[in-house]
Chains A and B, each alone.
Chain A
Amino acid sequence: MMFGMNLGPHADFIVAAYVVAALVLLLMIGWVVFDHRAQKRNLAKLETQGVTRRSERPVERLA
């Protein structure tokens, strides 16, 4: 019995499959979110050092 449901004789396998799928997918989502934050942090750090894209520079610096 799990969550009030009778999953039958293969309950262990069913629960294990759900747990594995959930764990792997959560790791994947976590990695994508973490990676995004890391890249944003790198960009912000570079920007504070004055390194910016040409399109983001003020006009007078180009002249």
Chain B
Amino acid sequence: MARGAAPVGAVFAAVCLLTGSLWGRPMWGTYWVWDARLTSVLVLFLMYLGVIALWHTVEEPSRAGRAVAILTLVGAINIPIIKWSVDWWNTLHQPASVVKLGGPAIHPTILVPLMTMAAAFLLLFITLHIAAMRNEILRRRVRTLMLMRAQAAPGSAS
């Protein structure tokens, strides 16, 4: 599961950061500020990279899975921080405008396209996640078969 999600999540976080900074330049007058929301999303992106790196560091998939699971649990703390960072710290970023008490503060002409695109990206994420998981299953099968071939090879210990 996580193995397939990490690259997709990293790419989505990168798109969020890149397009967000392209939006911030004309709206805020700057590409980047070290405020709570932007920094916490950057931390999310770096954690995705960390998960990917950890998978590649540990050779045995089941042991790598355990290490990655711990990192993922620690990283999950970041999720509520991202959500409420704009309320906890007073920064350049606008406070919550979609999911809040009293309904969204966005005009329907923007809210409807926003929700449409959010749904589209969610579906794209699910599709890519499933495809990446299928690739992981195939990769493990290849690995198992290669181990079997190595064991059956003449000159091996068995």
Write out the residue numbers on chain B whose beta carbons fall within 8 Å of the beta carbon of A16.
Answer: 22
Chain A nearest CB from B17 CB (Å) reads 10
A interface, over-half SS: helix
Would you give 11 A-B contacts (Cβ < 8 Å), ordered by A? A17-B22, A24-B15, A25-B11, A27-B11, A28-B8, A32-B131, A32-B135, A36-B134, A36-B135, A39-B142, A49-B149
* A13 close to B (CB within 8 Å): yes
Residue in contact with B22 in the complex, picked from A20, A32, A42, A49, CB distance below 8 Å: A20
A32 to B126, CA, bound (A): 13
B150 (CB) vs chain A CBs: closest residue: A51
- Asked if A51 meets B22 with Cβ closer than 8 Å, knowing A29-B128, A32-B135, the reply is no
Chain B nearest CB from A49 CB (Å) reads 7
Instruction: Give chain A's interface residues, CB within 8 Å of chain B.
Output: 9-10, 13, 16-17, 20-21, 24-25, 27-29, 31-33, 35-36, 39-40, 42-43, 46, 49, 51-53
